[in-house]
Amino acid sequence: MGVEGIGASVARKEDKRFLTGKGRYTDDMSVPGMKYAFFVRSPYAHAKIKSIDMSAAKDMPGVIGILEGKQLQADAIGNIICGWMIHSRDGSPMKMGAWRPLAHETVRYVGDAVAIVVADSLGEARDAAEAVVVEYDVLPAVTEAVKALEAGQPQLHPEAPNNLIFDWQLGDGDAADKAIAEAAHVTEMTIRNNRLAPNPMEPRATLGIYDSAEDHYTCYTTSQNPHVARLVMSAFYNVAPENKLRVIAPDVGGGFGSKIYIYPEEIVCLWASKKTGVPVKWTCDRTEAFLTDAHGRDHVSTVKMAFDKDNRITGLKVDTIANLGAYMSLFSSAVPTYLYATLLSGQYAIPAIHANVRTVYTNTVPVDAYRGAGRPEATYLLERTIETAARELGVSPAELRRKNFIRTFPYQTPVIMTYDAGDYEASLEAAMAASDWNGFAARKAEAARRGMKRGIGMSCYIEACGIAPSAAVGSLGAGVGLWESAEVRVNAVGTIEVMTGSHSHGQGHETTFAQLIADRFGIPIDNVNIVHGDTDKVQMGMGTYGSRSGAVGMSAVVKALDKVEAKAKKIAAHLMEADESDIVIENGELKVAGTDKVLPWFQVALAAYTAHNLPPGMEPGLKEGAFYDPSNFTFPAGCYICEVEIDPETGTTEIVQFVAADDFGNIINPMIVEGQVHGGIAQGIGQALLENVHYDPQNGQLITASYMDYAMPRADDLPSFKLSHQNTPCPSNPLGIKGCGEAGAIGSPPALINAITDAIGNNNLTMPATPQKVWSAINAVN
Amino acid sequence: MYATNYHRASSVQDAVKMRSAADEGKYLSGGMTLIATMKQRLASPSDLVDLRHIPDLNGVSVNGKSVRIGAATTHYDVASSAELKAVCPAICALAHGIGDPHVRHMGTIGGSVANNDPAADYPAALLGLDAVIVTNVREIKAGAFFTGLFETALEDGEMIVAITFDAPARAAYAKFRNPASRYAMTGVFVARRDNGDVRVAVTGAGGDGVFRHSGMEAALAANWSADALSGVSVDPSGLLSDIHAGAEYRANLVKVMAKRAVAAA
């Protein structure tokens, strides 16, 4: 592998600038004449706008312009759309209500944007925003999805009676019903998946620059996928044609899904730059982020899992209500459907599965993909249910899982997915050994002597990453293809630039992508530059989410490298008068195998550009591009074991052990993979123990709008993690890699809740398992 | 934040003059609450008069059992005072548990006490220690000082100069932190004097702010041990209830934290 090749824990190239404060984020960008925006937002969860009076605000110091939704509509700027069509079981298309970038008729959540104020300074913009008088006719609000479906509740969109967006199903309902009717045992549960705020360290920001001389727009923005932003803003929002719109996502400080979507602020700042004639910058503050960044999860499900007399799972039936908030965000429809129900087989051979999913409008901020996106919901539901079943059946949770594992591959589930490779038992064994599973009883007894309740829980997750074969997702309703592109540009001196459509916002692509080149050509990664995040530099790309940059983005790089290597070998063979098939590339040199003939890499690159002596008919230059469209999803899987001690007097949970055994296929940089797993587990523990978005159900006000009330995990909430990796290489991509970005957040919540419920002897517990809830659950059974 | 004028006072008299000359002046002593509130535009004083640089307001002095802490002494300086630790380690430990290192190096005892946040730690200590709040015009006993949520006996323009108390024989503070803010969701300060007097002061839980629990005080006066509290009931009525903790749970925490404080004292 070499010291910088595939499999080496190379230190991250990008960390020097991040750790020394030299990162360049959107808010760091300044251009001459730039002014500042502040948005006037709805203080109500649901209201009709009767009037907007800007007269006083317009004359305030420093104000350059104040713009509202009517003007936006007059300029034919489009409504914000959801890009994935889902049809209800009756064949009708999903009911998409109008989401205007600036509301001028109705506001539907606290924080809905109503007007933009542009001024010389942020303080002046904010002062003037306070002087904009919006007269509202306040309407009743509903924040909970289950309630929103009931009769007599406030109605959000005329297109969606009873607030129902779609009523979708997957699988064979009759077969699942039959399995349940004939079962020796059925485990039934109601499962709630709590609502989360994404909280990237860098809040969203955008800088819109209109150049009247060229009639051209530039948008700096905090995006995980600048090309998708450009495409959507051109094709659907009518901001500008693609050739007149450059989108740049420079350093981006975390996204976790929330920066996939194109938000009102990006559209409005670009438009406002043209209207006001000045570049317009907006940066979100933290409470604004809680109010307006797309949230994650928020499901309520009922589940029935059927077993035969030998404890084999014979059927699964799931009914889920998913809260999508006030409007349909870009991929909101896909998350609780094709990213969720398709994973309901888990690691188990289940002959009959049926899922029914209803999605619902409520007076809350839109809900969309958040680290894991659908797969944490599926895993939490399945792994809580099978653990409960083991307790009901009086068998070991490990044995019940082991008995039902899928063991032959490829395996076709009843819910679309074809698992290509895996060894679930290997991860289970590794996790059990690392956690000293068999020694738990003694540890529990010792804890009891100290007055503590000790519990252990496991979770065997599977996820689908590397989204995804374009034709497959197209047939399921996606509005885009999900391939990736790369271009490898070898300079005349042999250094290399790689343009990738993947986007790094913390994942370390500048290191791992460079490792591919070091591995292939034996040149130092310092001689390789990874270019991403700019639609003027990279031709096209689909961005980074769903753990796709390795499996899809790197595979595109590999395809381009194949072409570069082939051409370089042709040139070398010509120069050294050898046969092309005898050329090998090692340690930055091209050699004729079995001889002492050798050319340094840079000399071949130089030859390609001087073009003095190339094979007949060969074009000069050494630059190749490739598009890679995957043939399947990838299926990372693993087993997590969590051990906790509960203080029964206060209900406090301490995680005393956390073991993760993951199969990510082949690994490029083990250190970066470990970091991804650490972060994912931290977020999963956050969901399970701490985090919860709380809207006041009466008036729709967001109670958890700051860190005073929204509990983010901190270092001292977390234990040291024991990690291990098993490896069944992924057969569907050239690198054999599966993806690791989301696994930690997917696998950890059920392991933790299974451990806590084991400790306290009460299975009736919802996330987050706060001290108060755990204390109450202990008292409920004592 | 709205624009404001910053003044740095060099003496108590200077500070009083600066504040009274302002339209809507406010004393600033660390600003750990005030600045955050101003950033949210929920407070808009025309002028801030910074007290942290007044020499007379800084530092801890100990004379036998008699303790005086200048109002502008930071939490860090209280936590790390060797003199104070020798006579009343409980208050040093309490100060060490406030916020994070940034807060402990900026926030002051006077600022905290004057703000009287119902989840702040110092009010429990001052009430538990029967401390005296010395202002520029008078002395106020802690029992009369904390009058409600964010309310104190301070008159308009009155300024805390120092906190004084006699160190008790034994004392300790036990805190259960709010999982989000890490403020006290319940904190209990217990103190026992050589003459047998006991005080149990509770912060973070009371609907009217910090309070003493007479039932626990009586039980501990009779028998200074955690077990003595087992039979005492804590009434949840009148306790705070929010999304993090209901009154019943807080009532439980009051008792559990009191026991732990006694055990640690």
Q: Do domains B5-50 and B58-166 have the same CATH topology?
A: no
Which phi and psi (to 5°) does residue B73 adopt?
A: -75, 130
CATH number of B5-50: 3.30.43.10
β-strand partners of A737? A665
Domains parsed from chain A with CATH numbers: 31-139+201-254+259-292 (3.90.1170.50), 296-467+632-781 (3.30.365.10), 483-628 (3.30.365.10)
Chain B residues closer than 8 Å to A287 by CB: 40
Q: What is the CATH number of domain B170-264?
A: 3.30.390.50
Q: What average pLDDT does the structure give for chain B?
A: 97
DSSP string, A290-331: HHHS-BEEEEEEEEEEEE-TTS-EEEEEEEEEEEEESS--TT
**Any bridge partners for residue B25, and if so which?**
B47
Q: How far is CA A740 from the centre of its chain?
A: 12
Alpha carbon distances (Å) from A245 to A216, A227, A248? 6, 10, 10
- B41, B102, B181, B257: best to mutate for the A interface, most A CBs within 10 A: B181
Predicted-complex ipTM score: 0.96
Averaged pLDDT for residues B201-213:
97
Q: Mean pLDDT across the stretch B167-196? A: 97
Provide, as residue numbers in chain B, all residues whose Cβ is less than 8 Å from the Cβ of A649: 252, 256
Contact flag A771-B179 (C-beta cutoff 8 Å): yes
**Domain B58-166 belongs to what topology?**
3.30.465
Distance, in Å, from the CA atom of A339 to the CA atom of A428, rounded to the nearest integer, reads 24
Distances in Å between the alpha carbon of A697 and those of A373, A389, A719? 25, 33, 35
3-state secondary structure A408-448: CCCEECCCCCEECCCCHHHHHHHHHHHCCHHHHHHHHHHHH
pLDDT at position A468, please?
87
- Can you give the pLDDT at residue A782? 79
Measured between alpha carbons, how far is A576 from A564 in angstroms, rounded to an integer? 18
| Distance from C-alpha of A428 to C-alpha of A6, rounded to nearest angstrom | 26
Taking contacts as CB-CB distances below 8 angstroms, the residues of chain B near A127 are 2
User: Is the Cβ pair A707, B180 closer than 8 Å?
Assistant: yes
Kindly write down the DSSP assignment for every residue of A173-227, as one continuous string.
HHHHHHHHHT-SEEEEEEEEEEEE----SSPPEEEEEEETTTTEEEEEE--S-HH
Is residue B121 pLDDT above 60, yes or no?
Answer: yes
Q: How far apart are CA A597 and CA A592, in angstroms?
A: 6
Domain boundaries, chain B: 5-50, 58-166, 170-264
- The residue of B2, B252, B259 whose CB has the most chain A CBs within 10 angstroms, and thus the best one to mutate to test that interface, is B252
CA distance B240 to chain A (A): 14
What HEC string does B186-211 produce?
EEEEEEECCCCCEEEEEECCECCCCE
- For A705, the closest chain B residue by CA position comes to B180
* CB-closest option in A651, A703, A771 to B243: A703
The neighbour count for residue A319, using CB atoms within 10 Å, is 16
Report pLDDT for A3. Answer: 87
Q: What is the distance in angstroms between the Cα of B244 and the nearest Cα belonging to chain A?
A: 7
Q: What is the 3-state secondary structure (H, E, C) of A533-593?
A: CECCCCCCCCCCCCCCHHHHHHHHHHHHHHHHHHHHHHHHHHHCCCCHHHEEEECCEEEEC
- The Cα–Cα gap between A659 and A643 comes to 9
Max Cα separation, chain A? 87
Residue whose pair of structure tokens reads 């429809």 in the numeric block? A333
Q: Which residues of A touch B230 (CB under 8 A)?
A: none
Q: Which residues of B touch A (CB under 8 A)?
A: 1-3, 40-41, 176, 179-181, 183, 243-246, 249, 252-253, 256
Q: Which of B234, B253, B260 to mutate to test the interface with A (most CBs of A within 10 A)?
A: B253
Triad A751, A756, A760: Cα angle to 5°? 150
Closest residue, chain B, to A709 (C-alpha): B180
For residue B120, what are its two tokens? 């702040």
- Rounded CA gap, A442 and A735, in Å? 44
Assigned token pair, B49? 């008069």
Which residues touch A715 (CB under 8 Å, ≥6 apart)?
A: none
Q: Which helix (H) or strand (E) holds A282?
A: strand A280-283
A709 within 8 A of A694, measured Cβ to Cβ? yes
Res A642: pLDDT: 98
Polymer length in residues for chain B? 265
Q: What is the DSSP letter of A599?
A: E
Sign of the dihedral through C-alpha B49, B50, B53, B54: positive
- Inter-CA distances, B11 with B7, B17, B18, B55, B113, Å: 12, 10, 11, 7, 20
The answer to whether the CB atoms of A709 and B243 lie below 8 A apart is: yes
Within 8 A of A651 by CB-CB distance, chain B residues are 249
B13 pLDDT tier (thresholds 50, 70, 90) = very high
Q: Does the predicted TM-score (pTM) go above 0.90? A: yes
Whether the upstream peptide bond of residue A410 has omega within 30° of 0, thus cis, is yes
In the predicted model, residues of chain A with pLDDT beneath 70 are 1-2
Q: How many CB pairs under 8 A join A and B?
A: 46
The dihedral over CA atoms of A387, A389, A391, A392, expressed in degrees to the nearest 10, equals 170
Encoded tokens for B188? 């209990």
